[in-house]
């Protein structure tokens, strides 16, 4: 009668088929961290917490565990997303309509003016308020900047060395997290200024 | 990721019929314009809209026409009592300046620097880039709107903000004030004024019945103080107004009350 040999090598168990299996305990612990964090969490942070709780794992193993979790989730309503601030468990977008019905829309709608402001900051950072006003042709209200700061979509990264020492604004990782992005380069491409009429949006107008 | 391409305008369809041009008999209720105007994020946005309406290339901008239309819109917004940002008026002035420059005779418009429109066109083009891209960014999946995080974490209750820091001294002073408050509620009466102009008039007339002329200062009663002077003066003026007395001042500016014939 054959017996299964299980050689424990760190967190791997080698069964007779020769497959490496990640320790279920490790995978579940990571799952627990992802759910419990309530925010994106980095590999390094997970490693620290696990170590503090007697679970040894290197970054590669943690990453593999995440892949394993993703497989586990493939037929469920949840998924793991890799965003700027780390990994986040979220609900697959196809279920969003149901969830919207669950809650009142708490997050306020962002106006066109505000979208233009944040876009200018995102694409031209770091910028001052004056830079934004030059492009938009309107004064940028204090309310707008405060809204973006409070929401932690922008932060002050320094000051420009000119009279008045105006603050320089940049976008934050939270901004990327909220848009499900990992990197600022993943934003849509900024169109070039066109000299020719063909590409001009207005020549296509009714 | 699928989202509507805002650059493509859909033809308006009414009862199955698609309209490529604005019908002549189209009725636009006055409120419709209100909603339209509220959506501009600034004067450049409005300008781009006007240019688009004219269906022209931004490089061939007809400033004169656009300026007229722009001013119409500004006036309309003003009439509808919209809070116009000063920036709209600045743009109106800019357009007017460009328009007037264009009316000056010039040799040629070959160089870009000579074209009074060029600075404005550059601004419009730069703004257009960001307007475009911001529309796309607005449509990107956004947390709590298009997707939601899954979490088993209990939400933290934000009650820290409500803590008010109070010192011992503040408590003492507050208690002090509350204790002393009853004193402020003591009843007080309003008395009739002791001196009345009517009485004073009578008094003056009495004096004048015995003598024709009396100096003002002699009619005063010292204990009455300033009030007395005022009342006496008022009385004298009343009598003078009605012609009962004459008010005379001599060289040394002393005031006399003299009875006149009517008395």
B214 CB-contact burial (10 Å; exposed 0-12 / middle 13-18 / buried 19+): middle
- Chain A: residue nearest B149 by CA? A90
Q: Are B257 and B216 in contact (CB under 8 A)?
A: yes
Structure tokens at A80: 């793991």
Size of interface A-B (CB pairs under 8 A): 153
Query: A78, A101, A124 — which closes off a domain?
Result: A101
> Which structure tokens are listed for B92?
């109106």
A16/B34 Cα distance (integer angstroms) = 75
CA–CA separation, B114 and B97 (whole Å): 14
Angle at A74 between CA A34 and CA A67, to 5 degrees: 55
For residue B51, the model assigns a pLDDT of 85
Q: What is residue B179's predicted lDDT score, i.e. its pLDDT?
A: 82
Of the candidates B85, B123, B134, which has its C-beta nearest A139's C-beta? B85
**Closest Cα of chain B to A61: distance in Å?**
23
Residues A55 and A131 in one domain: no
- CA angle B199–B205–B206, rounded 5-degree value: 90
The per-residue pLDDT string of chain A (206 residues; one tens digit each, 9 = 90 and over) reads: 444 444 444 455 444 333 346 688 899 999 999 999 989 999 999 999 999 998 888 999 999 999 999 999 999 999 999 999 999 999 998 888 888 777 766 666 788 899 999 999 999 999 999 999 999 998 888 889 999 999 999 999 999 999 999 999 999 999 999 999 999 999 999 988 764 433 344 433 33
Is there a domain that residue A126 lies in? yes
Question: Are A81 and A157 members of one domain?
Answer: no
pTM equals 0.61
Check whether residue A80 and residue A120 sit in a common domain. no
Give yes or no for a contact between B80 and B37, defined as CB atoms under 8 angstroms apart: yes
CA distance, residue B175 to nearest chain A CA (Å):
38
Structure tokens of A45? 């942070």
Q: Do A6 and A95 share a domain, yes or no?
A: yes
Asked if B130 lies within 8 A of A204 by C-beta distance, the reply is: no
Task: List, in sequence order, every residue forming a beta bridge with A171; answer none if it has no partner.
Answer: A154
For residues A151 and A164, give the distance between their C-alpha atoms in angstroms, rounded to a whole number. 26
Taking 70 as the pLDDT cut, the residues of chain B under it are 1-10, 27-38, 80-84, 107-113, 156-163, 183-186, 191-194, 261-263
Mean pLDDT computed over every residue of chain A: 83
Percent of chain A topping pLDDT 70: 81
Q: Which of A45, A72, A101 is the last residue of a domain?
A: A101
Q: Which domain holds residue A20?
A: 2-101
Q: Encode pLDDT of A88-110 as tens digits.
A: 999 998 888 888 777 766 666 78
pLDDT at A20: 47
Smallest CA–CA separation between B185 and chain A, in Å?
A: 45
CB contact A143 to B (< 8 Å): no
Residues A78, A119, single domain; the answer is no
Q: Please tell me the total number of residues recorded for chain B in this structure.
A: 263
Give contacts of A96 with chain B, Cβ < 8 Å: 146-148
Q: Which residues pair with B13 in a beta bridge?
A: B18
| Partner residue facing B150 (CB), from A90, A110, A139 | A90
Biggest CA pair distance of chain B = 111
Residue A131 Cα, gap to closest chain B Cα (Å): 12
Contact A89 B151 (CB under 8 A): yes
Quickly count helices (H) and strands (E) in chain A. 8, 7
Q: Look at the alpha carbons of B48, B50, B56, B59 in this order and tell me if their dihedral is positive or negative.
A: negative
Q: What is the structure's pLDDT at A19?
A: 31
How many angstroms separate the CA atoms of B242 and B263, rounded? 10
- Length reported for chain A: 206
**A92 and A119 housed in the same domain:** no
Q: Is residue A106 part of a domain?
A: no
Residue of A nearest to B60 (CA): A197
Read off φ and ψ for residue A87, nearest 5 degrees: -100, 145
Q: Does residue A174 sit within a domain?
A: yes
**pLDDT of res. A196:** 40
Is the minimum CB–CB distance between A202 and chain B shorter than 8 Å?
yes
Among candidate residues B182, B252, B190, B184, the one with its CA nearest the CA of residue B215: B252
C-alpha distances (whole Å) from B45 to each of A91, A202, B112, B125 are 37, 13, 23, 11
3-state helix, strand, coil in chain A (%, to 5): 45, 15, 40
- Find all residues with CB under 8 Å of A69, minimum gap 6, and list them: A27, A30, A31, A34, A80
Query: Same domain for A118 and A195?
Result: yes
Residue A138, token pair as written in the block: 């309107």
Q: Using CA atoms, how far apart are residues B109 and B111, in angstroms rounded to an integer?
A: 6
pLDDT at B254: 82
Mutate to test the interface with B, among A137, A183, A199 (most CBs of B within 10 A): A137
> Residue A4 has what pLDDT?
43
- Residue A15 half-sphere exposure, CB side, CA atoms within 13 Å? 5
pLDDT at B34: 54
pLDDT of residue A203: 39
pLDDT, residue A88, reads 95
- Domain count along chain A: 2
Transcribe B101-163 into DSSP letters: HHHS--S---SGGG-TTHHHHHHHHHHHHHHHHHHHHHHS--BTTTBEE---PPPPP--GGG-
Tell me: do A35 and A94 sit in the same domain.
Answer: yes
Q: Which of A198, A111, A148, A171 is nearest to B135 (CA)?
A: A111
Same domain, A66 and A121: no
Give Cα B189 to chain centroid, integer Å. 43
Asked whether A182 and A82 are in contact (CB, 8 A), the reply is yes
Provide the 8-state DSSP code for A11: T
For residue A92, count CB atoms less than 10 angstroms from its CB and return exposed for 0-12, middle for 13-18, buried for 19 or more. Answer: middle
CA-to-CA distance for B207 and B213, rounded, in angstroms?
9
Residues A80 and A121 in one domain: no
Q: What is the pLDDT of residue B7?
A: 41
CB-CB neighbors (< 8 A) of A111 in chain B: 41
ipTM > 0.85 (yes/no):
no
Contact A96 B43 (CB under 8 A): no
Q: Domain boundary at A101, A121, A144, which?
A: A101
Q: What is the pLDDT of residue B133?
A: 94
Q: In terms of domains, do A195 and A116 share one?
A: yes
Closest A-chain CA to B136 = A188
pLDDT of residue A110: 86
- Residue A136 sits in a domain whose CATH number is 1.10.10.10
Residues A145 and A81 both lie in one domain: no
Do A202 and B148 lie within an 8 Å CB cutoff? no
What is the model's pLDDT at position B2? 42
- The nearest CA of chain B is from the CA of A87 a distance in Å of 11
């Amino acid at each position: 009668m054959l017996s299964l040999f299980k050689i424990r090598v760190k967190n791997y168990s080698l069964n007779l088929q020769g497959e490496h299996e990640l320790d279920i305990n490790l995978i579940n612990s990571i799952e627990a961290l992802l759910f419990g964090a309530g925010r994106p969490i980095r590999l390094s942070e997970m490693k620290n917490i696990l170590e503090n709780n007697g679970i040894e794992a290197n970054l590669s193993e943690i990453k593999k565990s995440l892949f394993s979790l993703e497989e586990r989730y493939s037929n469920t309503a949840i998924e793991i997303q890799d965003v700027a601030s780390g990994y986040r468990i979220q609900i697959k977008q196809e279920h969003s309509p149901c969830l919207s019905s669950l809650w009142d829309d708490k997050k306020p709608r962002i106006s066109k003016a505000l979208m233009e402001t944040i876009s200018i900051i995102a694409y031209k950072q770091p910028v001052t308020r004056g830079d934004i006003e030059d492009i938009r042709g309107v004064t940028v209200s204090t309310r707008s900047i405060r809204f973006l700061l409070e929401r932690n979509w922008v932060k002050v990264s320094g000051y420009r060395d000119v009279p008045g020492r105006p603050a320089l604004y940049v976008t934050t990782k939270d901004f990327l997290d909220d848009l499900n992005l990992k990197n600022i380069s993943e934003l849509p491409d900024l169109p070039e200024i066109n000299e020719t009429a063909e590409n001009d949006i207005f020549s296509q107008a009714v | 990721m699928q989202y509507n391409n805002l650059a493509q305008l859909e033809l308006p369809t009414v009862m199955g019929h698609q309209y490529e041009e604005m019908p002549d008999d189209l009725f636009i209720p006055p409120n419709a314009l209100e909603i339209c105007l509220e959506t501009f994020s600034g004067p450049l946005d409005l300008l781009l809209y006007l240019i688009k309406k004219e269906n022209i290339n931004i490089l061939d901008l007809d400033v004169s026409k656009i300026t007229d239309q722009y001013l119409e819109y500004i006036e309309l917004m003003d009439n509808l009592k919209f809070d116009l940002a000063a920036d709209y008026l600045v743009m109106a002035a800019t357009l007017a300046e460009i328009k007037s420059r264009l009316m000056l005779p010039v040799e040629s418009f070959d160089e870009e620097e000579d074209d009074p429109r060029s600075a404005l066109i550059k601004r419009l083009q730069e703004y257009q880039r960001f307007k475009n891209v911001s529309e796309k960014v607005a449509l990107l999946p956004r947390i709590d709107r298009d997707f939601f995080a899954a979490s088993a974490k209990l939400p933290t209750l934000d009650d820290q903000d409500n803590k008010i820091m109070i010192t011992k001294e503040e408590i003492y002073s507050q208690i002090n004030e509350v204790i002393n408050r009853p004193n402020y509620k003591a009843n007080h009466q309003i008395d009739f004024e002791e001196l009345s102009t009517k009485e004073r008039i009578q008094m003056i007339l009495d004096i004048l019945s015995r003598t024709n002329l009396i100096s003002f200062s002699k009619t005063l009663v010292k204990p009455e103080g300033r009030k007395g002077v005022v009342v006496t003066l008022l009385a004298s003026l009343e009598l003078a107004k009605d012609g009962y007395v004459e008010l005379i001042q001599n060289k040394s500016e002393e005031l006399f009350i003299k009875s006149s014939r009517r008395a």
